[in-house]
Amino acid sequence: MKKKAVFLDRDGTLIVDKVYLNDPAQIEYLPGVFEALRLLRDAGYIFCLATNQSGVARGLVQLENLHKIHGIIAADFHGHGVEFAGFYYAPYPVESNHPMRKPNSGMLDAGAVDHGIDLSQSWMIGDRMSDVEAGTRAGAGTILLSGTESPEAFAWAPPDHVADGLLDAAKWIIARGPR
């Protein structure tokens, strides 16, 4: 039986966007993220992180530090009773249009294959319309976190929901029921 998942952007969704975070000591979680993922975990979802990291290609983020940052995030969520099935990142330049780079669906597609995920029963949550478009292209539901970008400014399909933070998004998914 295929699993349902929530794919999560990293910067601006789980942690404060420090713009090319390279120092693991600067990880700062956004309000409600641990509670949000516990609620979704209890509703039967597994989690994958899907993050564009063009800072690697630009030489602003060291790959070793990126792995350390993801290791710390995994450990911190584990300490709150939440496990991540996978961490996916696209270390490609913005202009590359690499299949793994959002708005393309490569990271979600890879997660679906790696973890037996039914994308039609899954969600992509992020603070940018490229997150929403990646979810749409993968066939997942989409939630845009308010405050960074407006759906009206893009020619892409709008999100299924606009939420005021991850906890609001989690509560909306649970109240909505199965996709």
Q: Pick the catalytic residue: 9, 109, 131, 160?
A: 9
Cα-based distances in Å from 165 to 14, 39, 162: 9, 14, 9
Contact 117, 3 (CB under 8 A): yes
Q: Measure the CA–CA gap between 93 and 69, rounded to whole angstroms.
A: 20
9 counts as catalytic:
yes
- Beta-carbon-side half-sphere exposure of residue 38 (alpha carbons within 13 Å): 10
Contacts for 142 with CB less than 8 Å, ≥ 6 apart: 123, 124, 125, 131, 132, 135, 136, 157, 159, 160, 161
Q: Catalogue the active-site residues.
A: 9, 11
